[in-house]
Amino acid sequence: MNWSTIADEVLAGRAATRVEALAMLQAPDDELLQLLDAAFRVRRRYFGRKVNLHVIRNAQSGNCTEDCSYCSQSARSTAEIERHAMESAEALVTGAREAAEVGAVKYCMVTSGRRPSEQVLGAVCQAGAWIASHLKIRLCVSLGTLTDEQAQRLKAAGVTRYNHNLESSRRFFPQICTTHTWDERVATVRRARAAGLEACCGGIIGLGETLEDRADLALALRDLEVEAIPVNLFNPRAGTPLADRPVLGAVEALKTLAMFRLVNPKAELRAAGGREIILGTLQPLALFAVNSIFTQGYLTTKGQGTNRDLEMLEQAGFEMGMVEG
């Protein structure tokens, strides 16, 4: 296939097909740069060379009731991670101040667990209301399944976006989680959007899913019209059921990011967890497809640090900042 022609057509408003998405994932490694170039032309149209920096806050860590096999916070995990109860609103505000100081455009408060308790929701809403009225940073939260009323409370507190990932295709999801369903995840995304929250919704690649599953995830996210797509690159963790999964190759990961961009041209596409570990020295190439990264690490793993992130952006010809929609 001609990736450049597909980029032209996507820019003209045609949606990439499933056959094309799959072909991108199956492209010979020698075509990586052509594929990234096609993704970059689309990325540049909508986001220029801007990169959104996000800071994630693990507000309640570990001891989750769910059995997501990739997650070191799950009921099945014996991974050595820091586990802690819900942080206070004051601690969450401190995290937001620090995120604003490094120039992040979004501060994302995340809690483990199937759904938020009243204590969790109360702390997030209290912190959120203060942050929304005192800091320039925007708020995203990720608290699991929501009721309509909880989604409305978050919106009223100044939260602008809700994260809830589909993780993989509908077909593959039961192989990585049995305590809740893919359809429940879709319902939560819809509920958040109905309350006026933007949807941040993506997944993880490298769990053992097929290339078809990856294409189907990208297409499902397009159908849901999500505003932001975090793509996590699976970094197998000792103590989890998927500890022995083969590690994803950097070139394969880059082709996947390019596919997500060409299928979801206007979405904020993020190279999320696993960026440094999986992409290694090819990390800057991801910026030609994505327009967003987490800085200052992830939920249970460290990143390379904001200074190194900013240096990478500059060397690759990108700059931090957000294109207003």
- Backbone torsion region of residue 297, taken as left when φ is above 0, otherwise alpha when ψ lies between -120 and 50, otherwise beta: left
Of 138, 161, 261, 270, which one is the catalytic site residue?
A: 270
CB-nearer residue toward ligand SF4: 188 or 283: 188
CB-nearer residue toward ligand SF4: 66 or 87: 66
Least distance from C-beta 20 to ligand SF4, angstroms? 30
Residue pair 313/51 in contact by the 8 Å Cβ criterion: yes
C-alpha pair distances (Å), 126 with each of 85, 110, 164, 196, 249: 17, 15, 21, 19, 42
201 given a catalytic annotation:
no
Of 125, 140, 177, 201, which one is the catalytic site residue?
A: 140
Least distance from C-beta 277 to ligand SF4, angstroms? 18
270 given a catalytic annotation:
yes
CB-nearer residue toward ligand SF4: 71 or 310: 71
125 given a catalytic annotation:
no
- Alpha-helical segments (H) within the chain: 3-11, 18-26, 32-47, 89-101, 118-134, 148-156, 182-194, 211-224, 250-263, 275-279, 306-316
CB-nearer residue toward ligand SF4: 10 or 143: 143
Count of beta carbons in the 10 Å neighbourhood of residue 296: 20
71 given a catalytic annotation:
yes
Residue ranges binding ligand SF4 (CB under 6 A): 64, 66, 68, 71, 73-74, 112, 144
DSSP state letters, 266-279: TSEEEE-TTHHHHH
Of 41, 43, 57, 64, which one is the catalytic site residue?
A: 64
Q: Give dist(CA 194, CA 60) in Å, integer.
A: 26
CB-nearer residue toward ligand SF4: 64 or 259: 64
Least distance from C-beta 303 to ligand SF4, angstroms? 19
Closest of 295, 240, 232 to residue 81, by C-alpha: 240
Of 41, 43, 57, 108, which one is the catalytic site residue?
A: 108
177 given a catalytic annotation:
no
Least distance from C-beta 112 to ligand SF4, angstroms? 4
Closest of 269, 256, 314, 319 to residue 36, by C-alpha: 256
Least distance from C-beta 179 to ligand SF4, angstroms? 8
Q: Give dist(CA 294, CA 307) in Å, integer.
A: 13
64 given a catalytic annotation:
yes
Catalytic residue positions, numbered = 64, 68, 71, 108, 140, 200, 270
